[in-house]
């Protein structure tokens, strides 16, 4: 029996898991990643200092579909943390 990657993360309360995290948070979702886009607002309510970035012309695999745009998001985050 194989376990799908999605079954490993379903039901995980990421807000609870990150409750003690004090660093910067950036949520990067593809514009067509509807399920995760719907969850952004709930996450942002719990972490008012978090930032949300929508990567255009991408779905759930935004880092693979738009690697340069995703890299830019990561570079901006790294500039804030170093």
Q: pLDDT at residue 32 above 70?
A: yes
Token pair, residue 50, equals 């978090």
**Mean of the pLDDT values across residues 35-44?**
87
**Mean of the pLDDT values across residues 20-34?**
92
Q: pLDDT at residue 68 above 90?
A: yes
Phi, psi dihedral angles at 18 (to 5 degrees): -105, 10
Q: Give dist(CA 10, CA 1) in Å, integer.
A: 18
Beta strand extents in 3-72 (DSSP E only): 26-30, 51-55
pTM over 0.85: no
Beta strand extents in 1-82 (DSSP E only): 26-30, 51-55
pLDDT of amino acid 73: 96
pLDDT of amino acid 9: 67
């Amino acid at each position: 029996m194989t376990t799908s990657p999605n079954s490993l993360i379903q039901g995980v309360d990421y807000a609870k898991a990150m409750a003690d995290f004090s660093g910067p948070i950036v949520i990067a979702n593809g514009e067509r990643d509807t399920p995760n886009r719907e969850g952004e607002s709930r996450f942002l309510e719990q972490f008012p200092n978090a930032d949300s970035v929508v990567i255009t012309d991408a779905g759930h695999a935004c880092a693979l579909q738009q690697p340069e745009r995703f890299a830019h998001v990561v570079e901006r985050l790294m500039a804030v943390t170093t």
